[in-house]
Structure 1
Amino acid sequence: MTKHKFTVTAARGMLPLLETELKQIGIKQYKTEAGSIRFTGSLKEAYQVCLWSRVAVRVLMPIAHFTAETTDQLYNGIKEYAWEEHIDAEDTTLAIDFNSFRSKIHHTQFGAQKVKDAIVDRLRDLSGKRPSVDLHQPDLRVNVYLKHNQAIVSIDLSGESLHKRGYRVSQTNAPIKEHLAAAILLSAEWSKLAREGWALLDPMCGSGTFLIEAALMAADIAPGLQRDYFGFLYWKQHDKAAWQQLKADAERRRLSGLARLPMIMGGDEDKSAVTAAQANIEAAGLSDRIQVIHRDLQNWATVAQTLPDVGLVVSNPPYGQRIGDAASLHNVYEALGDLVNHHLPAWRTTIITDNAQLGKLTGLTLFDSKPFDNGPIACEVLSYRAPKPLRRDAKPVQQEMSASPSPWDKTPKTKAKPAVSSSVVENVSPQAEMFANRLKKNVRHLAKWARKNQLDCYRLYDADLPDYAVAIDVYGDYVHVQEYAPPADIDPLKASERLDEVMQIIPAVLGVKDDKVALKLRQKQRGSNQYESQAALRQRFEVRENDLRFWINLTDYLDTGLFLDHRITRQMLAENSRDKAFLNLFAYTGSATVYAAAGGAKSTTTVDMSNTYLGWARDNMQLNNFVGEQHQFIRADVLAWLNEPATQDLRFDLIFVDPPTFSNSNKMEGVFDIQRDYSDMLQKVAGMLNPGGEIFFSTNRRDFKLNASALKALDIKDISKATLPIDFERNSKIHYCWRMQKSA
């Protein structure tokens, strides 16, 4: 792979953060200088910096270096370079950035004009045609830095400042720039705190920059993913394939990370600021994940009562330079301190200010300060300790169960299930009493059914009452609660109150302890969000389903490890797997493989692109005593694996295909779309079937349509209704499923 030299620029105070980002990308050969970091690497790595750096300003690729003490030397040095290798002469645009430091040519506009003339003259001499000038978003932006009369000529791969993410459609007075907000959050260790489930609050959010940057960071979303312009996109040496792969990978990570977002909330006393923040949040695709309310700083007490125990308060309060008068800002800083001290005592606080004396008015204990520039204003980022930090035990949740002597033995087993409690929840609304009554009714009906069918895990409640839009699943002695994101027109405080009632009622009605109720915000499953997670398998326990055993994790991942709606589908696989070679594609945690092995499959092959989930699948097999060379596990992108020559010779009798709605693929641009690409995928899968073999194909895309005529080699039967469990009857579109047989 060809190596190049690059220069990445960053603002004051951000170079250590940029250095960390480069290391995370995998860049090893770098050198930190004043205002920039130089590194040697591939073009793909430079693209990664453009896409993933949260603090970089520009990514430059030096291409020439010469002495330029006079304008003639500057003109000749530029004209001698082979610009035809970088830009065509016709129907293209060009822009020049020129900066000078202690050099004889110090007029930047004149220097830029000479550079432009030299490039245009060379291209016109070669072809008779010339590019035009576009100062906004040119096809090629050239950067010339004249230092001590030495000209460094670079291609600007970023094209425009990387702080422009693409989501700012509205702004307020004195908005904080995106890369500065990100740098402040990184300095406050927000990435680490978010992984631990901490919430975030900006009570003076302005146009919402902190909120959006915090969400992008917590959800592992590339800051440049929404940008439609980079300086390399129309450059003649652009590596389109590398860029498409990076964007596809970033999209997969975005879809995965959205499900891990903790609570992020903001507000402002200015209604126009709230409107601007909501517009920017919507443009960032995060309107269902970030709450913004109109509220004065002095009136957050009632809201604070609904917030989690731990979190980070981050804000860019006015500090007199552009908004307000420093002498009249005492009340602002005092109110911020009162909010944390009295209502959020276990929360940390980070602010940016140009006046550390104002920060003292919060009454909080400072533990760190870092210098940053907010535009032309020299500022400090002040981080404060939580007044009364919580003490927490980090012990993993474990529940040991005895091994089953025969995993497919149908002998009924008895196990305690949540029982309807006679406890009464006090001080709840009449609507909450209705929710409690519905929950009691469901428990009486479904718990009995679950015991009869040897199930530890089942769906107990699925937004039965519109005002209580949650899904509640029972997993042994634990309860998993997922909140459906409320519509934008729902008062977030009211939604918080309803959720608080839900979390009070569940332990009381089901007779379980509070610490055995796990809460997540539910998100429509899109793409490969079932794949990579930031966490490890640290809080897992066992459950049984049809006397098979599975590891479950209720806290660290989007999904728990077992798709309950596929229970009947898994049973069908077991009933049809005896003495057959079984293949599980997009296998997740391998529950279908466990069922096939329990049903007597002579061999199983489990394929998934995630090392985490493939390891989980292996653990599930071992948990049921299915070990040996006949059980193979393959880590691969399924779509790429289907196209490998060695795969073409493999044959199976029974194949389960349950792909995500979107997924990466090396063989196509962008992302795999299940509706668009299922036919081609299934034809390749069908080619791996032995005569008479079967495919069980499922998707959870609600608007999916299958065209049987596109799969003429298969006899297709829709079994969606037949695979819908009783506990999912309220949601008939939870999945679609087909049984496809190849002619004998």
Structure 2
Amino acid sequence: MSSSLSFLATCPVGLGTLLVTELEELGATGLRETPAGVHFEGSLAIAYRACLWSRLANRILLRISDTAVATADDVYTSARTVRWSEHLGVKTRFAVEFKGQSHAIKNTHFGALKVKDGIVDFFRDREGIRPSVDAKRPDLRIVAQLSKGRLVLNLDLSGDSLHRRGYRLEGGKAPLKENVAAAVLIRAGWPQIAQEGGSLIDPMCGSGTLLLEAAQMAMSIAPGLGRERFGFHGWLGHREDQWLTIRSEAQSKKCSELPENVEIRGYDGDIGAIRKAEENTQRMGMASCVRVRARQLSDVAKPTHREMGKGLLVVNPPWGERLGHDEAVQKLYATLGRVLHSEFSGWQAAVLALDTKHARATGLRSHKNYKLKSGPLDIAVYLFDLAQDNELRELVKEKKGTVAETPALPELSAGGHMFANRLQKNLKRLKKWRQQSETACFRLYDADMPEYAVAVDVYESCVHVAEYVAPKSVSESDATRRFNEVVDACQVVFNIVDRDQIGVKRRERQRGTRQYERVSQRGERSQITELGARLWVNLHDYLDTGLFLDHRPIRRKIQSEVRGKRFLNLFSYTGVASVQAALGGARYTTSVDLSNTYLNWFKENLASNGLAESQNRAIRADVMAWLESEESVYDIILLDPPTFSNSKATEQHFDVQRDHPVLVTRAMARLEPEGVLYFSNNHRKFALDDELATRFAVEEITQSTIDPDFQRSAGIHRCWAIRHTPPTVQ
């Protein structure tokens, strides 16, 4: 066999240019990039090094024949005339992979059969016996490529695809292939950053693919070093002594630890993903080099224990199959942009995105982008230089805006002064509790004075005023005047010069689907924090804001109890309890609600916290019907039904007083024997059915689920902890 051989290195679309450079550095010559990969020439030693060291290739194919073919018989003849005895023996199990088609061969299976027949007949004519075909575990794979009337036969020297490094037994949805991850890192300049002592952080690391590829680069570890077998081990032309020498050289270059000052860290809000990342780093023997931990995206920052120089933040956010809802994806990228801008100044960033608008949603300026292929999906990596002049677009707009005269705060009437004084008094009363509990969203006023029948809620820097229906004895003009005094007082107390920024609504009792209808079309949302979760609230468009403040204590209780447990959230609304449970370490969560509006809102809340939908399912269903057919069991269940609902999507309307015995019974059927169901509702005249206490252990915990900001609101809700009755000991 000639000392100069012809090869083809296949790779995913978008990696060809990088693969040319990589193969050139390994000593290959005659390099030519094509849609199929990179053709190159070199000795057998070059092929061995490519199999061992290539971070980008899928396979290394050795060309053994190239002939013109016009018919199916020509394909058979071409295969039969190859001197196969130089490549495999009669005891070699082989497989044929056929690619391409022509007018004579339109089916790849038919083409593979023709090649296989040619190989078998070569041995039958020569030795009277034939080798065996093993499509699943062959000793040697032959790859036939038919294109433009020519049939090229190759030997697959790789065996399994080279992108499989061996450390990842399974990935999440739409996992990033290892060689695509390596390409992202190379495009982002990670090898040079690591040489200069820079560090790497992946804030949404998933199973840790980017982290482990980065570590192998920084530690000069050949990606094929841990592989026990390659395709060439079943080839008669293989030279084991030469291979062992090349492998030994690679082993000697391997470092046992990261270069000085280099750190590689990964975070993810999904506990399941972190567990997989930990398993993968341990499998690679890199647990001491690659550190991973559960942390939501908004809490990720550069390490502060020592001065950090240059660094790279690289991230593959959950898009497409892993998140799905496009608005949620854009919210996630916007959150990522704020983290990049505020926490990683001076670093470089590489962000993967399925769509250009997702990258633009970061609000930052990308200086380069490269298209890639991830499985069947077209994606791109966007590179950001996080220099001081790369400011968030929203901040640039603020700076370029004209400075207008600041409007004056309103002059308060006597009633307005009285209401403002009550707000100040309540702020003072709640101050210590708010500081100790780190509560930034709370009820400040709830009809404390009969003449001002409103609820005033604070959402961090935002204020929401909901007017209760005025008694018939109060005229419309008086009600309007008093409501205006309330809003004026809120402006003064909270220094809100733009009255339009206060969320204002008339709080009427709603039935059925009206609770989901818009009351305005402003489309403005604010993001707040509660119990460590970043949550979206809408103070203008819907009757409810997206966060029930009075249920804060029960959510806190669930978050403190849920670590490692399965959590079910029924009538889940915007899924706040599920998000907080996931951040509290829930094994997984399931949220069931009938409203698409609120389930999509829930998905956006998940996205803002870097939580995966695969671990936090959102199910659109009628809770009653779903419970009747569901078979899974849970350790903690939150059941918080509406008082009344007559949705068109259900067969009959729901009344909590009438229907709660059946509802609770069905929910208890989904509860583990040692689990707990928290049942709550805000029907002021609600009475728990006595029969439930005869079948279950029922404990009313209402008082412990009322925080100081709601202690004046008698009957805001009632809550019970319901457990299975322990079996009687005989």
What is the TM-score of this pair, normalised by structure 2? Answer: 0.51
Query: Partner of 1:150 in structure 2?
Result: 150
Query: Partner of 1:271 in structure 2?
Result: 271
Per-residue Cα deviation, 1:273-316 (whole angstroms, up to 9, x for no partner)? 11111111111221110001011112224866778343111011
Q: Which amino acid aligns with 1:148?
A: K
Aligned equivalents of 1:261, 1:113: Cα separation in 2 = 56
Alpha-carbon contact 1:158-1:231 (below 8 Å) kept: yes
| Cα displacement (A) at 1:103 | 4.8
Decide whether aligned partners of structure 1 residues 136 and 220 sit closer, same or farther in structure 2, where only a CA change above 3 A counts: farther
Which deviates the most, 126-135 or 337-346? 126-135
Query: Partner of 1:343 in structure 2?
Result: 343
Matches within 5 A, 1:484-495: none
Alpha-carbon contact 2:144-2:152 (below 8 Å) kept: yes
Matches within 5 A, 1:37-436: 37-90=38-91, 92-255=92-255, 258-259=258-259, 262-301=262-301, 308-388=308-388
Decide whether aligned partners of structure 1 residues 302 and 55 sit closer, same or farther in structure 2, where only a CA change above 3 A counts: closer
Aligned equivalents of 2:375, 2:264: Cα separation in 1 = 26
| Cα displacement (A) at 1:270 | 1.1
Matches within 5 A, 1:2-13: 2-13=3-14
Matches within 5 A, 1:507-518: none
RMSD: 2.1
Q: Which amino acid aligns with 1:79?
A: R
| Cα displacement (A) at 1:49 | 0.9
Query: Partner of 1:541 in structure 2?
Result: none
Aligned equivalents of 2:56, 2:236: Cα separation in 1 = 27
Aligned equivalents of 2:102, 2:284: Cα separation in 1 = 42
Aligned equivalents of 1:180, 1:49: Cα separation in 2 = 17
Aligned equivalents of 1:41, 1:389: Cα separation in 2 = 47
Decide whether aligned partners of structure 1 residues 32 and 170 sit closer, same or farther in structure 2, where only a CA change above 3 A counts: closer
Matches within 5 A, 1:631-670: none
Alpha-carbon contact 2:366-2:382 (below 8 Å) kept: yes
Per-residue Cα deviation, 1:429-475 (whole angstroms, up to 9, x for no partner)? xxxxxxxxxxxxxxxxxxxxxxxxxxxxxxxxxxxxxxxxxxxxxxx
| Cα displacement (A) at 1:204 | 0.7
Secondary structure at 2:363's aligned position in 1?
coil
Aligned equivalents of 2:322, 2:113: Cα separation in 1 = 35
Secondary structure at 2:73's aligned position in 1?
helix
Alpha-carbon contact 1:140-1:234 (below 8 Å) kept: yes
Alpha-carbon contact 1:309-1:344 (below 8 Å) kept: no
Alpha-carbon contact 2:67-2:150 (below 8 Å) kept: yes
Query: Partner of 2:442 in structure 1?
Result: none
Decide whether aligned partners of structure 1 residues 195 and 259 sit closer, same or farther in structure 2, where only a CA change above 3 A counts: closer
| Cα displacement (A) at 1:101 | 4.4
Alpha-carbon contact 2:173-2:321 (below 8 Å) kept: no
What is the TM-score of this pair, normalised by structure 1? Answer: 0.50
| Cα displacement (A) at 1:183 | 0.3
Secondary structure at 2:367's aligned position in 1?
strand
Q: Which amino acid aligns with 1:170?
A: E
Aligned equivalents of 1:320, 1:337: Cα separation in 2 = 19
| Cα displacement (A) at 1:330 | 2.5
Unaligned runs of 5+ in 1: 391-744
| Cα displacement (A) at 1:56 | 1.1
Per-residue Cα deviation, 1:152-189 (whole angstroms, up to 9, x for no partner)? 01111112221111111232221100000000000001
Question: Which one has the largest radius of gyration?
Answer: 2
Secondary structure at 2:286's aligned position in 1?
coil
Query: Partner of 1:546 in structure 2?
Result: none
Q: Which amino acid aligns with 1:69?
A: A
Alpha-carbon contact 1:345-1:387 (below 8 Å) kept: yes
Per-residue Cα deviation, 1:372-393 (whole angstroms, up to 9, x for no partner)? 1111111111000113399xxx
Unaligned runs of 5+ in 2: 391-730
Aligned pair count reads 389
Q: Which amino acid aligns with 1:55?
A: L
| Cα displacement (A) at 1:137 | 3.8
Alpha-carbon contact 1:345-1:389 (below 8 Å) kept: no
Decide whether aligned partners of structure 1 residues 173 and 306 sit closer, same or farther in structure 2, where only a CA change above 3 A counts: farther
Query: Partner of 1:19 in structure 2?
Result: 20
Alpha-carbon contact 2:58-2:163 (below 8 Å) kept: yes
Q: Which amino acid aligns with 1:275?
A: R
Alpha-carbon contact 2:204-2:297 (below 8 Å) kept: yes
Per-residue Cα deviation, 1:485-536 (whole angstroms, up to 9, x for no partner)? xxxxxxxxxxxxxxxxxxxxxxxxxxxxxxxxxxxxxxxxxxxxxxxxxxxx
Per-residue Cα deviation, 1:515-569 (whole angstroms, up to 9, x for no partner)? xxxxxxxxxxxxxxxxxxxxxxxxxxxxxxxxxxxxxxxxxxxxxxxxxxxxxxx
Q: Which amino acid aligns with 2:9?
A: V
Alpha-carbon contact 1:169-1:283 (below 8 Å) kept: no
Alpha-carbon contact 1:31-1:39 (below 8 Å) kept: yes
Aligned equivalents of 2:99, 2:377: Cα separation in 1 = 21
Q: Which amino acid aligns with 2:241?
A: A
Aligned equivalents of 1:200, 1:345: Cα separation in 2 = 14
Per-residue Cα deviation, 1:18-76 (whole angstroms, up to 9, x for no partner)? 11111211223322223322222100001111111111121111111222222222112
| Cα displacement (A) at 1:345 | 1.1
Decide whether aligned partners of structure 1 residues 298 and 258 sit closer, same or farther in structure 2, where only a CA change above 3 A counts: closer
Per-residue Cα deviation, 1:701-721 (whole angstroms, up to 9, x for no partner)? xxxxxxxxxxxxxxxxxxxxx
Instruction: State percent identity of aligned pairs.
Output: 37
Aligned equivalents of 1:351, 1:27: Cα separation in 2 = 32
Q: Which amino acid aligns with 2:217?
A: M
Q: Which amino acid aligns with 1:239?
A: R
Decide whether aligned partners of structure 1 residues 346 and 359 sit closer, same or farther in structure 2, where only a CA change above 3 A counts: same
Aligned equivalents of 2:306, 2:66: Cα separation in 1 = 60
Alpha-carbon contact 1:137-1:159 (below 8 Å) kept: no
Per-residue Cα deviation, 1:569-618 (whole angstroms, up to 9, x for no partner)? xxxxxxxxxxxxxxxxxxxxxxxxxxxxxxxxxxxxxxxxxxxxxxxxxx
Secondary structure at 1:314's aligned position in 2?
strand
Aligned equivalents of 2:175, 2:126: Cα separation in 1 = 47
Secondary structure at 2:242's aligned position in 1?
helix
Aligned equivalents of 1:199, 1:103: Cα separation in 2 = 55
Aligned equivalents of 2:344, 2:175: Cα separation in 1 = 26
Alpha-carbon contact 1:120-1:131 (below 8 Å) kept: yes
Secondary structure at 2:234's aligned position in 1?
coil
Per-residue Cα deviation, 1:186-244 (whole angstroms, up to 9, x for no partner)? 00010000101111011111111000000011111111111222110121000111110
Aligned equivalents of 2:140, 2:247: Cα separation in 1 = 21
Alpha-carbon contact 1:174-1:323 (below 8 Å) kept: no
Alpha-carbon contact 1:103-1:146 (below 8 Å) kept: no
Q: Which amino acid aligns with 1:201?
A: I
Matches within 5 A, 1:495-514: none
Aligned equivalents of 1:155, 1:307: Cα separation in 2 = 52
Aligned equivalents of 1:365, 1:288: Cα separation in 2 = 35
Q: Which amino acid aligns with 1:82?
A: R
Aligned equivalents of 2:295, 2:244: Cα separation in 1 = 43
Aligned equivalents of 1:119, 1:61: Cα separation in 2 = 17
Alpha-carbon contact 1:297-1:332 (below 8 Å) kept: no
Aligned equivalents of 1:60, 1:116: Cα separation in 2 = 18
Alpha-carbon contact 1:220-1:257 (below 8 Å) kept: no
Aligned equivalents of 1:60, 1:320: Cα separation in 2 = 33
Aligned equivalents of 1:60, 1:13: Cα separation in 2 = 19
